[in-house]
Amino acid sequence: MKIHQYDAVVVGAGGAGLMAALYATKTGASVAVVSKLYPTRSHTGTAQGGIGAALGNLEEDSPLWHAYDTVKGGDYLTDQNAAKVLADEAIDAVIELEHMGLPFDRTDDGRISQRRFGGHTSNFGEKPVRRACHAADRTGHMILQTLYQQCIKHNVMFFDEYHVVDVIKNQGAVCGVVALELGTGEMHIFHSKATLFATGGWGRVWSVTSNAHSLTGDGAAAIYRRGIPLQDLEFFQFHPTGIYKMGILITEGVRGEGGVLINGRGERFMEKYAPSIKDLASRDVVSRAIFLEVQKGNGIKGKDYVYLDVTPETVNRYLAEAGETRRIDGEYIEKKLPDILDFCRTYLGVDPVKEPMPIQPTAHYAMGGIPTNVDAEVVIDENWTVLPGLYAAGEVACVSVHGANRLGTNSLVDLIVFGRRGGKHMGEYAKQTDFVPLPPNPAAEIEAEMKRIRESTGKTRPGVLRQSMQQTMMENVSVFRHESGMKDALDVVRELKERYRNDITIDDKGYKFNTDLLEAWELGCLLDLAEATTISAMTRTESRGGHSRDDYKQRDDANWLVHTLVTANDAAGPYGSTTIEPEINLKKKVDLSLSEHDERFKPKERVY
Amino acid sequence: MDVTFRIRRFNPEIPGKNKPYWQEFHLTDVEETDRVLELMHRIKWEQDGTLTLRRACAHGVCGSDAMRINGVNRLACKVLARDVGNRIQVEPLIGLPVLKDLVVDMEPFFANYRAVMPYFINDSPVPADGRERRQSQEDREKFDDTTKCILCAACTTSCPSYWANGQYVGPAAIVQAHRFIFDSRDEGAQERLEVLGEPNGVWRCRTIYNCTPACPRGIQVTRAIGEVKLAIRSGSPEGIIEESVGPVASSNS
């Protein structure tokens, strides 16, 4: 076993991790980035449509409007101070990316081009606004590449293909992580003053997802298993437009450019559900509308999907109907949405310039995660008590800027703004602090668990359990939920956990690049998160944002303007128990600070 | 349909399997629209968990799963069963050391990438208003093609010049350099042109053209290399792109 020592360790090398690493490096701290993937494989690279910032390059915009949209989009579960930080700093963050060389598309006068996106409006919900700064439909790719390039320029130290499997606590602080080197199977200890988790989400809990195979929530699970709470897990976003059956994301930018959703009767059904901004309503609203249309038998050919239509004839017809003078043609779509066209042509044999795309909602984004304050420090209770030495940023974190439903483009803003704040804070913190000593044998438990999996002699391949979990979560804990379905899901997940402990087998007993072992490990993480998500969802007896219950249809502000904190009961030991009996804490109030002196931020009915 | 896979295997830890060998797998109930990656997952998850490959996004954006499929470098997640028929041969990329099955050592590839200074260089003060550096959409489009690179290594490992000489920076590194050399905001062109003008830079390219069809992102790799060659010859990237479109493109077709 090797022991490394760095002032700051960043786990995960997507947008948030790389931004944090850059900023921590700039403070003079020694920094290591530890990632199970090569950095450019991270999921930030798949983000398509844009990064929101009220630059006002094409029409009037203001960060306060952006903050308002974020709070409203989050169905008032958003912490308002954090939304303000997000919207204010988005402007400077996007300009900084441009200064780092990011190749944004340009306006006629050479500034960053912006497009419309779901839920982004001017003047407190009046009409859609062009706020999404974009580089074709591969904005995330450009962000990931640009940040990785900058890290190379600034000599950031990378440990690529090192899979972090545990977080090390000692003397009331976090002092590092345990990682498995994929290439050798060797364990490494990273001893640090500050550790930032930026490990992304866990869309692989569900069967239809836009998420990479790698998004198995290892970071969140490692934190959870060490008795640190996770927040608002019941809020998981289903993006309305995933490619039918495959889940591959079709950006909201398609609708931003004028694309519309059409049901089996040929109707533009969003007119019924969101009369004012129609197809550009928040994602939760659109996903529910699609589900309801399908339920009514209005899917295409009566099946469980609808069409997303961006053919010039359709788009121009609706533009004319709306009294807009703008018209589009095939060439315009080729330029603005090249990757989308490529996906549809490759995987569906459908040419979106000529035909509509078959789509269905797809598991996309965790609004919940590791609770943090606006400096990305992890907080462990309703009093915002900081756990020294631990940070989180990006999708794995819950600041919470996204509340009950994230707006499109705000994930990229989140990465940049809070990755940057976390990196700065870690660097400063490392200057003032000494290393907390490592506890004795910090990798012992993990080594025992890896040995158990490697030598397991059960009858079930992990893939079988994974499929079963994904199926039950998709059926029972997705766009619409109710008590009995969730109870079924919980029973299934717990039975799967039992089998995971006692009845699995893997083929690969080796050490070098044992992806069989790591996939089994990842399944363990997914199962813990599926269980904690279901319990959180059963606890919240209301409907809000991405959490929609058939048995509690109304939002209930009197009782539920609180965050859900779920903590694994530590006593049983994080790896020894078959079921973690999670504890729920509902005492952490939503921050409503903007509403205290601005009526417009007070929770009210959410209409688009 | 039924599909037979013939996969090049290698496991350094197991006697008898620590020299490369072929292994066949059979799959039934394969849909024409199944991705090769999905089918390889079926083999791994249903038949042989030791089969080792890299993958992440599964839709052609992250660049993890480049491999040689029926003799051509492809991303396994961007090839459908109907594209390759019912006998599918899969091998690791050529030119990088094989670590296990389809996993190759990417370090030499990334070392070449780093050698071309693949990052934005501009030490001039930012605009006084604190806002973006302006760039016309026309200038932005000059390097659009090469911004698409996902560093999957499919081009570099399809290049016979690279197979013959691993010191050659290879097409991917040149594509990355091109992205900055032709960015009107960047000030590092001269340094990059110097690096690429060295013996293991662009002149190792013999315009064999394997790289362009290998690119899963549709980048005109050979054209980009040609544009860099022209910039080295003329001493600057100025005016190259407008001039080069005709001759370089036609020499490849």
Same domain for B241 and B222: yes
Q: Taking CB atoms and an 8 Å limit, are B58 and A213 in contact across chains?
A: yes
Same domain for B85 and B8: yes
Q: Taking CB atoms and an 8 Å limit, are A37 and B56 in contact across chains?
A: yes
Tens digits of per-residue pLDDT, A278-316?
999 999 999 999 999 999 999 999 999 999 999 999 999
Residue A299 sits at the vertex; the CA angle it makes with A298 and A305, to the nearest 5 degrees, is: 155
For residues A59 and A122, the answer to whether their CB atoms sit within 8 Å is: yes
Q: Does A470 touch chain B (CB under 8 A)?
A: no
- Token pair recorded at residue B239: 């005016």
Q: Which residues pair with B243 in a beta bridge?
A: none
Alpha carbons A72 and B85: distance in angstroms, whole number: 51
- The domain limits of chain A are 1-235+367-440+580-608, 242-361
Shortest CA distance to B92 belongs to which of B170, B195, B11? B11
Residue A49 pLDDT: 87
What is the arrangement of strands in the sheet containing B66-69, beginning at the earlier edge strand? B21-27, B3-9, B87-91, B66-69, B72-75
- pLDDT of A571 over the 60 cut: no
How many domains does chain B fold into? 2
Same domain for B236 and B130: yes
End position of a domain, from candidates B104, B130, B153 = B104
Residue B246 pLDDT: 43
Q: Which residues of A518-547 are buried (b: 16+ CB within 10 A; e: fewer)?
A: bbbbbbbbbbbbbbbbbbbbbebebbbbbb
Residue A554: HSE in the Cβ half-sphere, 13 Å Cα cutoff:
6
Residue A193 pLDDT: 98
Contact list in B for residue A346 (CB cut-off 8 A) is 60, 78, 80
Same domain for B115 and B236: yes
For residues A180 and A519, the answer to whether their CB atoms sit within 8 Å is: no
Same domain for B64 and B158: no
Q: What is chain A's mean pLDDT, rounded?
A: 96
Q: Taking CB atoms and an 8 Å limit, are B150 and A508 in contact across chains?
A: no
Catalytic positions of A, written as ranges: 283
Same domain for B196 and B92: no
Tens digits of per-residue pLDDT, A414-431?
999 999 999 999 999 999
Please tell me which of the candidates B46, B78, B150 has its beta carbon nearest to residue A346.
Answer: B78
Residue B242 pLDDT: 80
Same domain for B203 and B111: yes
Q: Does A163 touch chain B (CB under 8 A)?
A: no
| Element housing A562 (H / E) | strand A562-567
| Element housing B248 (H / E) | helix B240-252
Contact list in A for residue B45 (CB cut-off 8 A) is 461, 463
End position of a domain, from candidates B73, B104, B135 = B104
Residue B243 pLDDT: 52
Burial class (CB in 10 A: 0-12, 13-18, 19+), B19: exposed
Q: Taking CB atoms and an 8 Å limit, are A461 and B45 in contact across chains?
A: yes
Residue A293 pLDDT: 96
Once rounded to an integer, what is the mean pLDDT over residues A525-553? 97
End position of a domain, from candidates B44, B77, B104 = B104
Percent residues over pLDDT 90 in chain A: 96
**Mutant choice from A58, A133, A145, A340 vs B, greatest count of B C-beta within 10 A:** A145
Same domain for B80 and B201: no
Alpha carbons B112 and B60: distance in angstroms, whole number: 23
Tens digits of per-residue pLDDT, A178-193?
999 999 999 999 999 9
**Mutant choice from B120, B180, B182, B192 vs A, greatest count of A C-beta within 10 A:** B120
**Which residue on chain B is closest to A153 by alpha carbon?**
B119
Q: Taking CB atoms and an 8 Å limit, are A106 and B137 in contact across chains?
A: yes
Tens digits of per-residue pLDDT, B76-117?
999 999 999 999 999 999 999 999 999 999 999 999 999 999
CATH 3.50.50.60 fits A1-235+367-440+580-608, yes or no: yes
This prediction has a pTM of 0.96
- pLDDT of A350 over the 80 cut: yes
The nearest CA of chain B is from the CA of A340 a distance in Å of: 11
Once rounded to an integer, what is the mean pLDDT over residues A225-248? 96
Structural domain including B100 reads 3-104
> Tokens 């199926």 label which residue?
A471
Same domain for B25 and B49: yes
For residues A82 and A401, the answer to whether their CB atoms sit within 8 Å is: yes
- Token pair recorded at residue A14: 């997507």
Alpha carbons A151 and A149: distance in angstroms, whole number: 5
Same domain for B183 and B197: yes
Residue A416 pLDDT: 98
Q: Does A335 touch chain B (CB under 8 A)?
A: no
CATH of A242-361, one of 3.20.20.140, 3.40.50.10260, 3.90.700.10, 3.40.430.10: 3.90.700.10
Same domain for B136 and B37: no
Same domain for B116 and B9: no
What is the interface size between A and B, counted as CB pairs within 8 Å?
157
Once rounded to an integer, what is the mean pLDDT over residues A498-524? 96
Residues in A 576-605 with any Cβ partner in B closer than 8 A: none
Q: Taking CB atoms and an 8 Å limit, are B140 and A98 in contact across chains?
A: no
Alpha carbons B25 and B47: distance in angstroms, whole number: 8
Whichever domain contains B88, its CATH number is 3.10.20.30
Helices A515-539, A483-502: crossing angle, 10 deg rounding: 150
Residue B97 pLDDT: 98
- pLDDT of A578 over the 70 cut: no
> Tokens 């999905």 label which residue?
B38
For residues A6 and A30, the answer to whether their CB atoms sit within 8 Å is: yes
- pLDDT of A572 over the 50 cut: no
Residue A581 pLDDT: 78
Once rounded to an integer, what is the mean pLDDT over residues A447-467? 95
- pLDDT of A408 over the 70 cut: yes
Please tell me which of the candidates B62, B132, B186 has its beta carbon nearest to residue A98.
Answer: B132
**pLDDT less than 50: residues of chain B:** 244-253
Distance of CA B112 to the CA centre of its chain: 12
Whichever domain contains B189, its CATH number is 1.10.1060.10
CA–CA distance from A145 to each of A49, A123, A155, A478 (Å)?
Answer: 16, 34, 15, 32
Alpha carbons A528 and B184: distance in angstroms, whole number: 50
Residue A575 pLDDT: 56
Burial class (CB in 10 A: 0-12, 13-18, 19+), B141: middle
